[in-house]
Amino acid sequence: MKKVLPIIITTLSGLLILAGYYFQVRSGGVLAVLIQWVVLLISTAALIGIGYLLRSHINRMLKQKKGRLASVILLVSFVATLVLGFVFSLDSEIFRDLVLNIQIPVEVSLLAVLAVVLFSSSTRLIKVRGWTPLSISFLFGAIVFLFLDLGWLRTDSSTPAAVVLNLIRRLPSAGARGILLGIALGGLIVGLRVLLAKDRPFGEKK
């Protein structure tokens, strides 16, 4: 019964949400209530995860383990952000400016590191597997798009060269959309497997 009950609850919940999307008019607001419950449960799980994260960093700091300086920085940043959020509220321009002036430079730095890592990984792939069509196209595409993003090539918007450059610059967006479609299809397949009780992340398998 302990193995069957989670399967029944998960399957019924998923089918109920799925049916609510197809019959939103007839649901009479039930779907909105269920989504609010889901958001509440996810928020509770996020709070529990934050609590475990803070506890692990506090233990690392108290026990003076390796990396305690990073734990101190994380705890101070978390407490400062939490206090400022309560003082200024999330709608305050001061609070948004404080957060964005730190978040955006960090994100840009991480993207720069990611670009360097991808380039070094491509060169390592060539050393390991040789000059294959896949490795050559990856390296060539990376160099071309990095060069185009530098902004050195400037042409009149009415010329055929500008049309070709704009078309080439749109290719990464097409690839990103393909990746997002793949993620969506993968999530759909995983969801269907859970609904059909093929996968059981909520309990032990037989």
109 and 139 fall within a common domain: yes
3-state secondary structure 94-120: HHHHHHHHHHHHHHHHHHHHHHHHHHH
Q: Note whether 141 and 106 are same-domain residues.
A: yes
Query: Given pLDDT bands bounded at 50, 70 and 90, which one contains residue 206?
Result: very low
**Pair 146, 115: CB distance under 8 Å:** yes
- Whether 175 is covered by a domain: the verdict is yes
Q: How far apart are the first and last CA of the chain?
A: 13
Instruction: Give the pLDDT confidence of 86-109 residue by residue, as tens digits.
Output: 888 777 888 888 888 888 888 888
Q: Is 23 among the domain residues? A: no
Asked if 106 and 148 sit in the same domain, the reply is yes
pLDDT, tens only, 36-46? 887 888 889 88
Higher-pLDDT residue of 148, 114: 114
Q: Does 55 map to a domain? A: no
Query: Within a domain: residue 19?
Result: no
